[in-house]
Amino acid sequence: MIARIDADGWHSQAHIIESPNCDARPDDTNVSLLVVHNISLPPGEFGGPGVEQLFTNRLDPTAHPYYASIHTLRVSAHFFIRRDGGLIQFVPCSMRAWHAGASNWRGRERCNDFSIGVELEGSDDLPFTEAQYTHLNALINVLRSAYPKLDDLAGHADIAPGRKTDPGPHFDWNQVRWPRPV
């Protein structure tokens, strides 16, 4: 089966875990930006349920000391790519996920309005896996087919400089099949 984005904005081959942390995009807004992030919960640990719990407002503040400071956040992303390449979708692409925060891209404020957010399981301190790059490139192909105006790619640090650092110095932009923005 060929992967595709359906009319509601869901990826046909992603594992769906719906997040309540989303809302409608502004009317007549075209998706034109893909934002790459990194996340791991607890920080620097991979494979656990922390990211899913955060994005679905179920993070237990007593499960890890770091969680006490973030468990009330209401955040999400459209997609999460695990270290093994597993793809989870939290928000349909037709909706606005809450991944970018205060942001600006090429003079446009509020990047959540017109972007799709992809979180890679990782940190600023470690390289990403080949499986993640493979699945990110496959996702990019599906998204660009579904959204013809999707013509920009940026890291979270690019749209929120000074506030964010991800996807970090170990993210290899040369492995992404998309021209790196200037």
Task: State what percent of residues in the chain have pLDDT above 90.
Answer: 96
Nearest to 117 by CA among 46, 177, 55, 179: 55
Q: pLDDT of 131-162, one tens digit each?
A: 999 999 999 999 999 999 999 999 999 999 99
pLDDT computed for residue 104 by the predictor: 97
Query: Which CATH superfamily groups domain 15-38+76-175?
Result: Peptidoglycan recognition protein-like (3.40.80.10)
Over residues 164-181, the mean pLDDT reads 88
Q: Give the domain ranges of the chain.
A: 15-38+76-175
pLDDT computed for residue 169 by the predictor: 97
Confidence class of residue 179 from pLDDT cuts 50, 70 and 90?
Answer: low
Over residues 93-111, the mean pLDDT reads 97
Q: Which string of DSSP letters, residue by residue, matches 102-153?
A: S-EETTEE-GGGTEEEEEEE--TTSPPPHHHHHHHHHHHHHHHHH-TT--EE
Long-range pairs, 13-16, Cβ under 8 A, ≥24: 13/87, 14/79, 14/87, 14/88, 14/89, 15/86, 15/87, 15/88, 15/89, 16/88, 16/89
Nearest to 119 by CA among 168, 68, 69: 168
Q: pLDDT of 16-29, one tens digit each?
A: 999 999 999 999 99
pTM of the model: 0.96
Q: Which string of DSSP letters, residue by residue, matches 63-78?
A: SSGGGGGTTT-----S
Over residues 163-181, the mean pLDDT reads 88
Q: pLDDT of 103-124, one tens digit each?
A: 999 999 999 999 999 999 999 9
Which residues are identified as catalytic? 119
Would the pLDDT of 38 be above 60?
yes
pLDDT computed for residue 126 by the predictor: 97
Confidence class of residue 180 from pLDDT cuts 50, 70 and 90?
Answer: very low
Confidence class of residue 182 from pLDDT cuts 50, 70 and 90?
Answer: very low
Over residues 57-68, the mean pLDDT reads 98
Write the CB contacts of 162 (distance below 8 Å, at least 6 apart in sequence). none
Query: Within the chain, what is the greatest distance between any pair of CA atoms?
Result: 44
Q: What's the chain's length in residues?
A: 182
At residue 26, what are phi and psi to the nearest 5 degrees? -60, 150
